Amino acid sequence: MGQTYTALASEVKVNDETIAGLQSIQYEVTRNRKAVGAVGTDERIAVYFGLRTVTGSITVASVNATLDKFLAGGDKFSISAVLRHGADSRNVTFDDCYCETKSFAMGAESHAETIYGFSSTRVREESGA
């Protein structure tokens, strides 16, 4: 059975600095795949996998000076998230990240929100204690 982690109990850090005002973190892992077709038929006979890419986004209330600095400077950083629900936890670590995009919005009856897009060399997921 799956575990339901809660945002209130979880924590996300960039280079060991907790992200204040965190609203959400999302990520996607994509593997390139090439199907090999058989001669004389329309069915595949094999599949080859190639490059694996990891992209994601962090949404914060207002803005985050640390992520702004990484976007402007193009410097590499890491992201670590500890997802929690009661005594259960899961550690998600993104290695060799680069901040690539920034999107800012502010509505008439809400607070400002910034979405920072990032890419990562890899993501590691491990069950916590």
Q: In the chain, what are the domain boundaries?
A: 6-127
Calpha distance 117→24 (Å, rounded)? 12
Q: How far is CA 2 from CA 47, 65, 129, in A?
A: 29, 35, 16
Contact 23, 57 (CB under 8 A): no
Q: With H, G, I as helix, E, B as strand and everything else as coil, classify residue 70.
A: helix
The H-or-E segment that residue 100 falls in is: strand 88-105
Question: So what's the pLDDT on residue 122?
Answer: 97
Residue 55 identity: T
Strand partners, 113: 61, 105
Among the four given CATH numbers 3.40.50.12500, 1.20.1260.10, 2.30.110.20, 3.40.640.10, the one describing domain 6-127: 2.30.110.20
Tens digits of residue pLDDT in 64-111: 999 999 999 999 999 999 999 888 999 999 999 999 999 999 999 999
Give the pLDDT band (50/70/90) at residue 60: very high
Per-residue pLDDT at 129 = 59
Which neighbouring-strand residues pair with 89?
A: 84
pTM (two decimals): 0.88
pLDDT over threshold 80, residue 39: yes
The full length of the chain comes to: 129
**Whole-number Cα distances in Å, 47 to 36, 41, 51:** 6, 16, 13
> Looking at the predicted structure, is the pLDDT value of residue 1 above 70?
no
The dihedrals phi and psi of 39, each to the nearest 5 degrees, come to -70, 130
